[in-house]
Amino acid sequence: MTVTSAIPATMRAAVLHGPGQLSIEERPVPVPGPGEVLVRVEAVGTCGSDVHYYRHGRIGDFVVREPLVLGHEAAGTVVACGPGADADRKGRRVSIEPGTPCGSCAQCRAGRYNLCPGMRFLATPPVDGAFCEYLAVQQDFAHEVPDSLTVEEAALLEPLSVAVWACRKARVAPGDRVLITGAGPIGLVAAQTARAFGAGEVLVTDVLPHRLALARAAGATALDVSRNPLHEAGFTPTVLLECSGVPAVSSEAIRTVGRAGRVVLIGMGGDEVPLPVSRVQHHELEVTGVFRYAHTWPAATALVQSGAVRLDSLVSHSYGLAEAESALTVATHDATAVKAVVHPQR
């Protein structure tokens, strides 16, 4: 192993033992294996999935059965290289793509590695995540970032990648009218990404005033659906990016999509959605889902570097590693929370 500087033998990690049970523990610093690099983790965004695991101990079939380190939106600096890894990577700032596919299954060979059945994804049981001081990852999934990006922006390239993948699936193009339901972090970056892809109009719906204000700041039209129902808005989108994960919201939104429109289901939450089949058939709508992303980091990085997407506007709260539990619970007592970022080196 090639090292840049002295690396401690142990590190701190925020470990989940069950619903609502998080503790800061000492763990061995991982040793990078063949083709891996060791990253000094400097920023980790808190995702809704992290919050869900913290509250409920499971998401669908993924159950926390043994101690688990949360966090998968991560960035930092390469400090060591394992056998076969490029030694020139040492000292480079990187954004971590948190899924490592097998590389040999039919989906991987077809380029759809996000659908790899053998995917090992950070902070998805039983794979530990990034709420820790050091992390070993495959060098191909440690994407170098330019100096113009802050470490927080580098970490949030992960949720931006979801938006890039969704806009690609929806084939967002100049002149499209895009409806985005839900102004959470994904909805907000989806609004910016749709504009960057050339959408002529972007309408974002939500019920929280501060999130709607962020949507307006991103150049979108904002609609408070607690006061003005979507079906009365008179907006007929060519593309729907459904980010709320609420079945009733999804169903209502699909009913507004115009002829030959494209519907992409992004938000997770409901196992079933009441599908307005007559609308889908009579308007020849395309309805698809997205699961994570593939080959998105270069585009996401370029969008931020060019200024077309502003990720810093998402960061509402910042914590040290010892405060990781606060990052997971801030939304329950602060209505203005959008994205909490944990800094493991603090």
In tens, the pLDDT along 121-167 reads: 999 999 999 999 999 999 999 999 999 999 999 999 999 999 999 99
Q: Are residues 42 and 179 in the same domain?
A: no
Report yes or no on 300 lying in a domain.
no
pLDDT band, very low/low/confident/very high, at 271 (cuts 50, 70, 90): confident
Give the number of domains in the chain: 2
Q: Is the per-residue pLDDT at 6 higher than 90? A: no
Residues 300-327: tens digit of each pLDDT: 999 999 999 999 999 999 999 999 999 9
What is the average pLDDT value for the chain, to the nearest integer? 96
Instruction: Tell me: do 11 and 135 sit in the same domain.
Output: yes
In a domain, residue 294? The reply is no
Residue 144 shares a structural domain with residue 181: no
Say yes or no: 172 and 103 in one domain.
no
pLDDT tens across 177-212, in order? 999 999 999 999 999 999 999 999 999 999 999 999
Residue 172 and residue 150 in one domain: no
Looking at residue 272, its pLDDT comes to 85
Give me the pLDDT at residue 335, please. Answer: 86
- Same domain for 270 and 164, yes or no, is yes
> What CATH number corresponds to the domain at position 55?
3.90.180.10
Residues 16, 137: one domain?
A: yes
Averaged pLDDT for residues 50-55: 95
SS (H, E, C) the chain: CEECCCCCCEEEEEEEEECCEEEEEEEECCCCCCCEEEEEEEEEECCHHHHHHHHHCEECCEECCCCEECCCEEEEEEEEECCCCCHHHCCCEEEECCEECCCCCHHHHCCCHHHCCCCEECCECCECCCCECEEEEEHHHEEECCCCCCHHHHHCHHHHHHHHHHHHHHCCCCCCEEEEECCCHHHHHHHHHHHHCCCCEEEEEECCHHHHHHHHHCCCEEEECCCCCHHHCCCCCCEEEECCCCHHHHHHHHCCCCCCCEEEECCCCCCCCCCCHHHHHHCCCEEEECCCCCCCHHHHHHHHHHCCCCCHHHEEEEEEHHHHHHHHHHHHHCCCCCEEEEECCC
The pLDDT of residue 109 is above 60 = yes
Does the residue 71 lie in any domain?
yes
**Same domain membership, residue 190 and residue 107:** no
- Residue 4 predicted with pLDDT over 70: no
At residue 5, the pLDDT reads: 55
Q: Any idea what the CATH number is for the domain that residue 264 is in?
A: 3.40.50.720
Predicted confidence band at 268 (pLDDT cuts at 50, 70, 90)?
confident
Same domain, 63 and 176: no
Q: What is the mean pLDDT of residues 326-342?
A: 94
Q: Give the structural domain span for 71.
A: 2-156+311-343
For 219-226, what is the mean pLDDT?
Answer: 97
Residue 228 lies in a domain: yes
Q: In the predicted model, is pLDDT for residue 3 greater than 70?
A: no
Q: Considering the domain boundaries, does residue 303 fall inside one? A: no
Do 58 and 166 lie in one domain? The reply is no
Q: Is the pLDDT of residue 60 over 90?
A: no
